């Protein structure tokens, strides 16, 4: 079984230049161009190009968040759902460490998010972390479905790119006016405020989801990781207030839980949380992130992720296909069934 899995991983890894390129564009546009410019200049083959892209993702994640451990896993975990590309683990680790060190030497500020200290194995907080994982799994589903809903809307009602951008910009202005200008941009200050236990307006959560979906579906350029952190931290803070618990701790759980659920990177999310919030956060993060990962189902904010193994026996799906294609197939099947019923 292990040998078969490794063989399949290797075969898929060798056939994914276009898929990796699209993922890189979704996550961080500048990495794609710099990586492929270097690959063309040095005349790398297809395998080396893909390795270079993964290393770029890992180094970028590590340097931005100041989290080399999470960065080392991010590049290889973001490609496949259900397995890891272990053949590029070592270069990914080196890239994450080097990227983090160079960013530090150059004085580049990282996100440096901080939250309250987690207690050591508190039974009540462990149970609440499990509850939070379920809620963040549902929010992950909502986040991804909003992204996909925008794509479906433009598919059924196609309009020219300039008009898309005009409508998208106008709607973004309206969302910022109704919710808050904080839904635009990186949102680092809002994330930190949530992690510090500050007051969070509910409109920020839904406003950021809509703003992200509009930006990415109407010709805008931007990443997906920080919007996920924004939604996770703000929704986690709100959940903490509702439960009568420290909102700072639940904002930290939300930040990691949404990363695990929305882009299927639970190991990266746990490691990121440990690096940012301390080793005592580990047990709580593991419960929250693994449950959010399971409950989000076979969907992702990165639709080109390859589903190699289903998340659980109860979650059946066609494997060895892009997650985005699974949603399209299910939708087509529902349409065919509806048309068949109308015919009869």
The CA radius of gyration of the chain, in Å to the nearest whole number, is 20
Tens-level pLDDT at each residue, the chain (344 residues): 444 444 444 454 444 444 444 444 445 444 455 555 565 666 676 777 778 888 888 998 998 898 999 999 998 888 888 888 788 899 999 999 999 999 889 888 777 788 888 999 899 999 999 999 999 999 999 999 998 888 788 777 788 878 888 888 888 889 889 888 888 888 889 999 999 988 888 889 999 999 998 888 887 767 889 999 999 999 999 999 999 999 999 999 999 999 999 999 999 999 999 999 999 999 999 999 999 999 998 888 888 888 878 888 877 778 778 877 765 555 544 444 444 555 54
At 16-74, the pLDDT tens digits run 444 444 444 445 444 455 555 565 666 676 777 778 888 888 998 998 898 999 999 99
* pLDDT for 340: 52
Q: How far apart are CA 19 and CA 322, in angstroms?
A: 9
**Where do we find the tokens 């080392």?**
72
For position 153, what pLDDT does the model report?
80
Nearest to 68 by CA among 23, 34, 104: 104
Is 79 in contact with 16 (CB distance < 8 Å)? Answer: yes
40, burial (CB in 10 Å: exposed 0-12, middle 13-18, buried 19+) = exposed
Helix axis angle for 123-156 and 247-263, nearest 10°, is 50
Instruction: Report the SS3 class of residue 256.
Output: helix
Domains of the chain (ranges; CATH) run 2-105 (no CATH), 123-306 (1.10.3080.10)
pLDDT value of residue 239: 95
Dist CA 311 CA 315 (whole Å):
6
Q: So what's the pLDDT on residue 142?
A: 94
């Amino acid at each position: 079984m292990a040998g078969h899995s490794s063989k399949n991983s290797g075969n898929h890894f060798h056939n994914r230049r276009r898929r990796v390129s699209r993922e890189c564009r979704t996550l961080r546009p500048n990495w794609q161009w710099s990586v492929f410019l270097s690959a063309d200049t040095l005349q790398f083959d297809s395998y080396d190009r893909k390795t270079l892209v993964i290393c770029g993702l890992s180094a970028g994640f590590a340097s931005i968040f100041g989290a080399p451990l999470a960065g080392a896993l991010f590049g290889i975990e973001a490609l496949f759902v259900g397995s890891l590309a272990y053949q590029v683990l070592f270069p990914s680790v080196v890239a994450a460490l080097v990227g983090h060190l160079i960013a530090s030497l150059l004085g580049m500020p990282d996100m440096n998010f901080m939250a309250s200290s987690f207690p050591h194995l508190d039974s009540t907080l462990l149970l609440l972390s499990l509850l939070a994982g379920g809620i963040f799994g549902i929010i992950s589903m909502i986040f991804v479905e909003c992204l996909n809903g925008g794509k479906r809307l433009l598919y059924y009602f196609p309009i020219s790119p300039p008009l898309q951008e005009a409508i998208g910009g106008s709607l973004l202005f309206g969302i910022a006016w109704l919710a808050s200008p904080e839904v635009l941009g990186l949102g680092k200050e809002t994330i930190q405020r949530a992690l510090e236990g500050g007051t969070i307006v509910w409109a920020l959560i839904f406003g950021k989801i809509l703003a992200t979906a509009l930006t990415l579906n109407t010709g805008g350029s931007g990443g997906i990781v920080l919007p996920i952190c924004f939604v996770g931290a703000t929704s986690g803070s709100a959940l903490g207030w509702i439960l009568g618990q420290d909102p700072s701790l639940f904002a930290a759980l939300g930040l990691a839980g949404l990363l695990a659920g929305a882009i299927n990177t639970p190991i990266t999310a746990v490691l990121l949380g440990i690096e940012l919030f301390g080793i005592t956060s580990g047990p709580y993060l593991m419960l929250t992130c693994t449950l959010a990962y399971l409950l989000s189902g076979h969907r992702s904010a990165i639709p080109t992720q390859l589903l190699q193994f289903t998340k659980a026996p109860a979650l059946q799906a066609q494997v060895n296909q892009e997650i985005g294609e699974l949603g399209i197939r299910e939708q087509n099947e529902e349409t065919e069934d509806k048309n068949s019923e109308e015919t009869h």
